[in-house]
Amino acid sequence: MQRIAACVLAALAFVLLGAPATASAHGPIRYVALGDSYSAASGVLPPDLTAPPQCLRSTSNYPHVIAAAIGAQLTDVTCGGADTGDYTAEQYPGVAPQLDALAPDTQLVTMTIGGNDSSVFINSILQCGAAGLSTLGKGSPCKDRYGSSFENTIRNVTYPSLVRTLQAVRAEAPRARVAILGYPWIMPRTGGCFDRMPVAEGDVPYLRSLQTTLNDAVRRAAAATGVTYVDMNRVSEGHDACAPIGVRWVEPVLQGTNPVIVHPNALGEQGMAAQAMKVLRLR
C-alpha cells in the first residue's frame, strides 16, 4: 500500500510540476540553447572554439553554466546578433537555422531573443548615445527625437514575431521544457553614468522604459505560448552598466572590460543562469 501511495504521489507531482529537468537513469537531459548574444555571452572569455567565429560564443555563457550545474548534454547554437528570423533561416552562410538543433527528444530549451528584431536594441543605444554626446549629457534629446517609435516597433512587430517563434520552438521540441529569459537591466532607473554610458540624463528613464517594454513583450509572448518566462528585472536591479566592476552584470560603452559593449560579462551570465535554474527548479 505504501508503495502504491508513493507512486500516486510521484505521478501527481509530475502532473502538477512537470518532469524534473535533471539527469536520470536514462542519461543526462538533452538541453538545447538557442538565442542571441546575451545567450552566447559575446565577448566573454574563453571563446567557444567549436562555434562559428561570427557568433562570438563563449563557454562561460549561461547555457554552459546551467549544463555544468545539472550535468546536461548541451547543444549550444546561440549566436551573437541573432533575431527571431534566424530561427528559421541561416544567420550567416553555413550557420544553420537555430530550430534545426531541436528534436522530438529535446528535454530543455532556453533562450534570449527579440532584442535584435528590427534593430531596435542596437539602434536605441547608438542613437541615444549620439544624441547624448550632442548635448553633453543634458536634457532628453533621444526621447525628444524618437518618442514612442522604438516602443511601438516592439509592440507591433517584435511581439508577434516572438509569439510565432516560440510556437515554432514548441512544435519542434514538443516534449521539452522551454524557457525564455528577459534581458537584465542595462541602465539604472535614473541618473546614469555619462562617462561610461554616454546617454543624456533625461534619456536614462527613456531607455529604461524601452527595455521594460521589450521584457514585457517577451513575458507576454511566453504566456501566450505556454513557455516559461524567466524574469530578470528584480534580480538584475543594481547590476546595470553604471554599477562598478564586480557588481555590474552588463558592461558599459566606455571603461568596460568586454570588447562587445552593452552586453553581459561573466558575472551577468552567472546571474542569468542562477535565475533560470531557480525558475525552472533545476537545483
Q: Does the annotation count 124 as an active-site position? A: no
Buried-exposed string 100-137: b where 16+ CB fall within 10 A, e elsewhere: ebbeeebbbbbbbbbbbbeebbeebbebbbebbeebeb
Residue of 60, 161, 239, 263 marked active site: 263
Angle of helix 120-134 relative to helix 204-225, nearest 10 degrees?
170
Q: Does the annotation count 37 as an active-site position? A: yes
Residue of 24, 37, 39, 42 marked active site: 37
* Catalytic residue positions, numbered: 37, 263
